[in-house]
């Protein structure tokens, strides 16, 4: 079974998974799902933020070299610092 739109981002010791499920985008941090209504989310130890942007999810970690990963059900974009 291949998840064609699954993205995995590893930053420091943090593992972020983004993938579509039904009409939503699911976010997992180290295997733990972050409910969409808990966004915006700030990781307690790492300088990583996530927020809902339009139809998708943006992940920001500028101090770790990642400006933004944007993911929605149809596309994804990665911007480095």
Q: Residue 2's pLDDT is what?
A: 52
Cα–Cα distance for residue pair 37/45, rounded to 1 Å: 21
Domain boundaries, the chain: 7-80
Query: What is the chain's mean pLDDT, rounded?
Result: 89
- Kindly state the tokens that stand for 14: 């943090």
CA dist 13 and 74 (Å) reads 28
Task: Spell out the residues 6+ positions from residue 68 whose beta carbon is closer than 8 angstroms to its own.
Answer: 58, 59, 60, 77, 78, 79
Distance, in Å, from the CA atom of 9 to the CA atom of 29, rounded to the nearest integer, reads 10
Give the integer Cα–Cα distance in Å for 77 and 54. 14
In tens, the pLDDT along 40-69 reads: 999 998 899 999 999 899 999 999 889 999
What was the pLDDT predicted at 55?
Answer: 87
């Amino acid at each position: 079974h291949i998840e064609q739109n699954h993205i995995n981002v590893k930053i420091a010791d943090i593992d972020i998974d983004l993938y579509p499920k039904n009409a939503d985008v699911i976010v997992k941090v180290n295997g733990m799902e972050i409910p969409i209504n808990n966004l915006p989310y700030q990781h307690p130890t790492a300088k990583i933020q996530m927020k809902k942007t339009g139809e998708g999810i943006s992940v920001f970690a500028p101090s770790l070299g990642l400006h933004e990963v944007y993911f929605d059900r149809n596309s994804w974009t990665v911007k480095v610092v």
